[in-house]
Amino acid sequence: MKNLDNTINEKVLKGRKIGGLVLFLNIVFAIAAILGIIYCGTHGDGENPQPMWLFLLCIAYLFVGWIPLCGLKILKPNEALVLTLFGKYVGTLKGDGFFYVNPFCTAFNPAAGTKLGQSGDVSSKTSILTSTAGTNTTTTTTAEGYSRKISLKVMTLSNSKQKVNDVLGNPVEIAVAVMWKVSDTAKAVFNVDNFKEYLSLQCDTAVRNVVKIYPYDVTDNVDTTGDGEADDGSLRGSTEVVANRIKEEIQSKVVDAGLEIVDARITYLAYAPEIAAAMLQRQQASAIVDARKLIVDGAVGMVEMALERLSEKNTVELDEERKAAMVSNLLVVLCGNKEAQPVVNSGSLY
């Protein structure tokens, strides 16, 4: 059944779990045909010949009786089989069990021989063609022995590391793991040429489209949400937000292919090697400045507290010049990188 946009909708075949009955009847009829041939050959004579039609019927059944066996299909849990009859979509078998369909129906799955990175959905055969779409490697088997069943399990696409420029133009290396599954078998098989390669390409483009919106680290005057106001979003600090945006971006692209994106997670994030050293020095310098600010603030507070305590208890009377000298000495001691060496003044204070 097709709608206005020529998209084929999934049609699940019901009431086909009669494979066991069909197999049993086929075995019974085959045994009956063999016994019929034996009977006609041993009990027929010139005076009382056995009916010729019975003999021919048994012979004919032995020749064509295997055809119904081609309609027997076995499915495990979370497996599906898309069936076509002379090029026309018949329906989809879902659920575990022993099914029987029209023996002239054929299973169709153009992505049966394609294996995505870490998806583990098909077994590699002897003759293999390997192609790279974007940065995801897909392996297509050319042997005819692979299964044409479609897995409905949640599978993982491990997006390889790719170099993308962030919003500031800095090259960043990022890798994403995408959890996905087939939600509509008819769309997955008929709407795109190969739904696995299609998903791989859409993952690459979605990562590039989202990463270029964010800076690697928090940066002033950068709008990552599109509301026209600067925010503190970044690839390093807003990992969950970035991953959700990548998930939504991929989902919007693969919905017509009958795929559902369950989750997406960033598995690797770093500056590109050519600028990693410079960015590390920048981070170290920023950390040193922040630490110095904290030390100076603490030292000034300690000096103020010391002067207040001396004034309250009238321990010693200091003029402005001596206070300035004391503040200078205390700041040098408290803010220095090394321990201060004490100097004992044995003379008078002035």
Domains defined along the chain, listed by start: 19-76+94-106 (no CATH), 151-271 (3.30.479.30), 280-335 (no CATH)
Digit-coded pLDDT (tens) for 166-180? 888 888 889 999 999
The three-state secondary structure class of 112 is coil
Instruction: State the number of CA atoms in the 13 A half-sphere of 10 facing the CB.
Output: 20
Nearest CA to 210 among 237, 234, 230, 228?
A: 234
The fraction of the chain above a pLDDT of 70, given in percent, is: 78
Taken in order 142, 143, 145, 146, is the CA torsion positive or negative? negative
Strand positions, DSSP E, the chain: 72-75, 79-85, 88-94, 97-100, 106-107, 114-115, 128-133, 136-141, 150-151, 155-158, 162-165, 171-182, 259-271
Task: Report the C-alpha gap between 60 and 150 in whole angstroms.
Answer: 36
- For tokens 């295997």, what's the residue? 66
Task: Report the C-alpha gap between 42 and 256 in whole angstroms.
Answer: 65
- 227-242 burial by CB neighbour count: b if 16+ within 10 A, else e? eeeeeebbbeebeebb
pLDDT of residue 328: 76
Sort 24 into a burial class: Cβ within 10 Å, 0-12 / 13-18 / 19+: exposed
Residue 4 C-alpha from the chain's centroid: 32
Whether the pLDDT of residue 129 is over 50: the answer is no
Number of helices followed by number of strands (H, E) in the chain: 7, 13
Task: Report the C-alpha gap between 163 and 90 in whole angstroms.
Answer: 44
Residue 290 C-alpha from the chain's centroid: 39
Instruction: Report how far apart, in Å, the C-alpha atoms of 136 and of each of 191, 200, 285, 308 are.
Output: 21, 6, 37, 67
pTM (2 d.p.): 0.69
Q: Which helix (H) or strand (E) holds 322?
A: helix 320-335
Check if the beta carbon of residue 19 is closer than 8 Å to that of residue 68: no
Whether the pLDDT of residue 116 is over 80: the answer is no
Digit-coded pLDDT (tens) for 218-231? 777 777 777 777 77
pLDDT of residue 3: 45
Task: Report the C-alpha gap between 111 and 106 in whole angstroms.
Answer: 15
Nearest CA to 181 among 256, 258, 93, 266?
A: 258
Q: List the single range of 58-62, 179-183, 214-218, 335-339 with lowest mean pLDDT.
A: 335-339
Q: List the single range of 20-29, 143-152, 211-220, 293-302 with lowest mean pLDDT.
A: 143-152
The three-state secondary structure class of 234 is coil
Digit-coded pLDDT (tens) for 299-330? 788 877 877 777 777 766 666 777 777 777 77
Nearest CA to 157 among 202, 194, 208?
A: 202
- 52-61 burial by CB neighbour count: b if 16+ within 10 A, else e? eeebeebeeb
Task: Report the C-alpha gap between 95 and 98 in whole angstroms.
Answer: 10
Q: Which helix (H) or strand (E) holds 200?
A: helix 195-211
Nearest CA to 181 among 123, 70, 261?
A: 261
Mean pLDDT of the chain: 79
Task: Report the C-alpha gap between 116 and 227 in whole angstroms.
Answer: 37
pLDDT: which is higher, 339 or 304:
304
For 194, the token pair is 């190969």
Digit-coded pLDDT (tens) for 240-299? 999 999 999 999 999 989 999 999 999 888 888 777 666 676 677 677 777 778 877 777
